[in-house]
Chains A and B, each alone.
Chain A
């Protein structure tokens, strides 16, 4: 799962997948604007066949947060 998340973040945010780690968060990535945030969320939804609530979308502001929300979602 981690590799898939990193690949999607890399594609949407124009990063090297290898550079995505626990420190990757919205404040530190210039290309992570509000538009790309939605693109990222939608791409994750498609890849993992889930649907996020708005509260979850607003909480997915870093790589660890995304992983956390997804793990909870997929564990449900």
Chain B
């Protein structure tokens, strides 16, 4: 115990030094070290206060304003929320409604909640506070009365969410309810027609339905969280009654981590790729010494633990995460394992990039990122060797490094506990992403074969579909704004709720772009948003997924904007480039399409315009473009 304060002093000094210098990565490293050494809450208090004092960071943090509305004293989660936000690159600003004031804050148009202009609103209400009929007042009630109570809560939640949605485009996180720890029917509860626990689950299903219907509203599975840690250790009955703080001291941090999964997704920080080592990571033992059949992998421990880990990695690919290998091994040995060891859950084709050689991993990782066209900050590196982990952390601080524990049975937790791959939506594209990258690789091969770029584009046999954003494509459209970094003119992130606001307005032109080619369907890969400003149609967002960069789909998008501007009787199309570290591929977009540069904005931003008098951008004739007409307004 004493050690936590003494060894912590080095990490503290390092943290203070880095904070004063505004050195983001070193401050994160020191903060992680401090938290690793001592889980004590006072470390969080210290870190939170110093973070509040810090003003500038390099690289800069992404601001996020979070409003906490609760029926209990949720302020105990604040230090952890600020600190974990920082560890994820977010500068958190927090507004807290008075406890139990969640209804008033939402209903009062002039409340501090709306003045705060939150990005995320967390509605954390304990079941016992909102639905006493299911908790302490449960016994002796008729089913019909309980049912009426459940219905009333759902209706109230629906009405509150509607009100909130009407006044704020914030992402909303609504807690579901954990069943009571002690059941009033005792051992009968599980078997009774509807015991207390079943009623709570029934209510949770109804609440989930309410959330599904409301754009930008997500259910926080609080019941699942309590189960994960166990109700006996989750709660502190003493503090519930004494300080209206029902959660045990060491669990507030876990609640904050759960919120952080959503915050990360809202800000486009979801990880896209896992790079794994091989020896003692995908299997036990060393391939070069044990041979393709001698490595530990199979139905018996420890081989069973490595298989379980491989299975979870495979499951991640179905959520759209890419897999890659960075290993110091002989390629021929690894090929032999893939070809011969039938215990391998992961096959060669599940990996989108392989770096198997004896060069340092600090070279392999940038190579993989380049090949997959993703930023290193979207890469997770997993290795059992602490030295290689440290080497990567130091050389490539933007890479999230998971240094595996000694015991292989703990690998799955290490992979999944922080929810690094959690996204707010799962699109049809996600489950096929690995396959899509393989298609792209085939297309790249074709590019190498064919002579001119136009010839290459023709040979792809592209079919481009430009369609209004619909309820069905809404999640994908928001996801594209959150995840696209390279071919993105303004890199503004939007939530589903913000897009819905635009869908409702007649003046906004919103369109998704789908691309098929002879290698398969890439799904929705582009998004366009524009609105009239005086005589011009002004492009707010134009982005393309990196899968289809360099195939002149953007030419079709600009031709579409010109056509739409013409239809609306406008005489000009305008656009802006807001330069970021990532969007080099899009910088020349307007110049290449005949736009003239207008005045330069602040911080390197450039403005461009194209008069339609000259005919605008012409449709590329090497692809088939289908424009789906329709009213972009969603059903209310």
Residues of chain B with a CB closer than 8 A to A8's CB: 40, 42
Residues of chain A with a CB closer than 8 A to B75's CB: 35
Q: Which residues of A (1-52) have their CB < 8 Å from a CB of B?
A: 3-4, 7-8, 11-12, 14, 34-35, 38-39, 42-43, 45-49
Q: Complex Cα distance A43/B46, Å? A: 12
Q: Which residues of B (28-61) have their CB < 8 Å from a CB of A?
A: 38-43, 45-46, 49
Q: Complex Cα distance A11/B73, Å? A: 20
Closest to B48 in A: A11
Is B238 interfacial (CB 8 A cutoff)? yes
Residues of chain A with a CB closer than 8 A to B4's CB: 47
Is B249 interfacial (CB 8 A cutoff)? yes
Q: Complex Cα distance A49/B1, Å? A: 9
Residues of chain A with a CB closer than 8 A to B2's CB: 4
A interface majority secondary structure: helix
Total of A-B residue pairs, C-beta within 8 Å: 53
- Partner of B39 from the list A38, A46, A57 (CB cut-off 8 Å) is A46
Contacts A3-B5, A7-B5, A46-B250: A14 and B49 contacting too (C-beta < 8 A)?
A: yes
Q: Complex Cα distance A30/B38, Å? A: 27
- Partner of B245 from the list A12, A38, A47, A53 (CB cut-off 8 Å) is A38
Do residues B41 and A46 form an inter-chain contact, with CB atoms below 8 A? Answer: yes
Is B239 interfacial (CB 8 A cutoff)? yes
Do residues B40 and A43 form an inter-chain contact, with CB atoms below 8 A? Answer: yes
Do residues B45 and A12 form an inter-chain contact, with CB atoms below 8 A? Answer: yes
Do residues A43 and B45 form an inter-chain contact, with CB atoms below 8 A? Answer: yes
Contacts A4-B2, A38-B76, A39-B76: A54 and B42 contacting too (C-beta < 8 A)?
A: no
Residues of chain A with a CB closer than 8 A to B40's CB: 8, 43, 46-47
Q: How large is the interface on B (under 10, 10 to 19, 20 to 34, 35 or more residues)?
A: 20 to 34
Do residues B42 and A7 form an inter-chain contact, with CB atoms below 8 A? Answer: yes
Q: Complex Cα distance A49/B239, Å? A: 17
- Partner of B41 from the list A3, A34, A42, A48 (CB cut-off 8 Å) is A42
Closest to A53 in B: B238
Q: Which residues of B (9-45) have their CB < 8 Å from a CB of A?
A: 38-43, 45
- Smallest Cβ distance from B393 to chain A, in angstroms? 27
Q: Complex Cα distance A11/B49, Å? A: 9
Residues of chain B with a CB closer than 8 A to A12's CB: 41-42, 45
Is B243 interfacial (CB 8 A cutoff)? yes
- Smallest Cβ distance from A73 to chain B, in angstroms? 14
Q: Complex Cα distance A64/B376, Å? A: 52
Residues of chain A with a CB closer than 8 A to B39's CB: 46
- Smallest Cβ distance from A21 to chain B, in angstroms? 18
Do residues A38 and B243 form an inter-chain contact, with CB atoms below 8 A? Answer: yes
- Smallest Cβ distance from B539 to chain A, in angstroms? 48
Closest to B4 in A: A47
Residues of chain A with a CB closer than 8 A to B49's CB: 14
Closest to B248 in A: A42
Residues of chain A with a CB closer than 8 A to B41's CB: 12, 39, 42-43, 46
Q: Complex Cα distance A42/B239, Å? A: 10
Q: Complex Cα distance A45/B39, Å? A: 12
Q: Complex Cα distance A14/B250, Å? A: 21
Known pairs A4-B5, A47-B40, A49-B1 / 8 extra A-B pairs, C-beta < 8 Å: A4-B1, A8-B42, A42-B76, A46-B40, A46-B250, A47-B5, A53-B238, A57-B242
